[in-house]
Chain A
């Protein structure tokens, strides 16, 4: 996820930082868990995520971004994808030749 975040422009990154802090520390007060999200048990983390999924617009946006970044980070490793049957890159491994540029059309094309 750190790599994905490093590709954001600075103003967007700052908004994401604020959003994720709200999510993490929100567990203390909004979630009434009296602990940050990162310190909750797995069961409570899942329940907390589900509460935010049903929350107001900003909560839905933050938790959805968090999930998407997690997925992106996880599947960056092609071996993880291969474990579920996804083939990954095929052209080099399969020896598929490169066709190069298409030939230029003949002169006198209409219109």
Chain B
């Protein structure tokens, strides 16, 4: 295929007349990320006429530059500057055709059975058992070329994690990814230049388009028209490159809001809809992540190869304080953003040694203590580390530090805002135990927002029912990660794909 040939038919704002567009369709989908794309394909395949509205731009892979800052500026929400209200945790989300699937690490996990069981017992989701969902995951894993990393896909950084974890008895294995013939460029977070990552940009969206779906980029859903418990039309604003706004109105029989766990609740809050439970925007969780570096005597080159290669931890036991450690790519930008290398000469020495760094990130099963809301029209993500979760974070840090020393590291850099190191294995407990919870003490990042449109059987305690339909609205579905009743600890893309596929089936069954 030629580098310049169009690979996805997208209507961009420049193509929309100044007077705007007025469309009539059977299904309108807000958002083109993991869940929106799956819904677009599944419903198009079932014969429905589908329109997809995406707020972000369409950027074909031939324009990806394998440059982290450029990717932040062009492909991420708020140009990579989306943070919690405190300002000490960046919340990274894709904002482009394909959403976060374009810029994620490609790591794939099914949700732990323990989590699905807690959704059944605590939220009445009898339908989401591992047995019911397994065929959906099987199908997605086939469609997206999901496979466990083969030996050549596990770089030295990953092998060090596997070796260190084995020595101290922590379960570990190569990670699965949705990648086909990976070029091992190490640029997943800057988007895959050669379309080997099987993101929505090269899979479900072009498939939906081929089946007749219309996809609009740069078009932000804004208001809903409502009549008799039904959204009858979505009003959106398309903004072209000159800043000119053009109105887009889409009248539809069925509305799917798949804008992600931050934008989806904000849209419902703005429209004062679906909130008889008072839960819209609440229960925000995000797998707060920390990056840890272990300095070795020789080069590790953690930035060479696949972005996520291997993982360690008790991932089947999230409810018992489990954690997940992922061997992760770390380029100079990520290394500098994730831990404090000092200032002046100290910083220069730190980065000069960074090729010798073993690199991993930690994920925890955090509690749903945050909320997303509008304040004077401004988006707010209120989330600080809960003391219970801080204990899980310390446990994860202990695990990483021990793995690093077992793998031969001579020093461990902790993800604090003031340079903190562990110089020997025997100091791990004392240093980690001295860490205290607090604002602006750690370099936090979240790649996995979730939970703000909680799914559950009880309309008084949840926003969305077990079939994905809003309790308060008869023709409105939410399939994105905002419906997770609790955090899942593992990378969520497979869970989102699976739930979206399941919800699409519920819609089809309803007729």
Contacts and interface: CB of A to CB of B under 8 A. Distances in A.
Interface of A: 7-9, 11-12, 42, 45-46, 49-50, 53-54, 57, 60-61, 64-65, 67-68, 71-72, 75-76, 78, 80-81, 84-92, 94, 96-102, 104-105, 107, 109-111
B180 A99 contact: yes
Contacts of B139: 105, 109-111
6 tightest A-B contacts by CB? Answer: A71-B336, A89-B66, A60-B440, A100-B1, A53-B418, A7-B79
Grouping DSSP codes into helix (H, G, I), strand (E, B) and loop, the B interface class, with mixed when no group exceeds half, is loop
Q: What range describes how many residues of B lie at the interface?
A: 35 or more
B87 A81 contact: no
The listed residue with most A CB atoms (<10 A of its CB), out of B194, B337, B438, is B194
B332 interface: yes
Given A81-B331, A98-B195, A7 B337 contact: no
A89 B81 contact: no
Interface in B381-434: 417-418
A91 B66 CA distance: 8
A64 B69 contact: no
Interface string B176-206: 0000110101110000011110100011001
A57 B439 contact: yes
B301 A85 contact: yes
A61 B440 contact: yes
Interface in B78-110: 78-79, 81, 86-88
A62 B312 CA distance: 34
B374 interface: no
Given A7-B79, A87-B303, A89-B187, 11 more contacts: A60-B417, A61-B439, A67-B340, A75-B336, A87-B304, A96-B183, A99-B1, A100-B7, A102-B144, A104-B207, A111-B135
Contact of B65 (A46, A61, A89): A89
B316 to A, nearest CB: 25
Interface stretch (B12-20, B350-358, B452-460, B469-477): B350-358
Contact of A64 (B8, B185, B417): B417
A60 B418 CA distance: 9
B187 A90 contact: yes
A87 to B, nearest CB: 7
A101 B337 contact: no
B206 A57 contact: no
A94 B304 CA distance: 14
Given A12-B81, A91-B183, A91-B194, A102 B145 contact: yes
A94 to B, nearest CB: 8
Contact of B378 (A11, A76, A97, A105): A11
B185 A102 contact: no
Given A88-B66, A104-B207, A53 B198 contact: no
Contacts of B78: 9
Contacts of B62: 98
Given A60-B441, A65-B87, A75-B333, A101 B195 contact: yes
B122 interface: no
A14 to B, nearest CB: 12
A42 B344 contact: yes
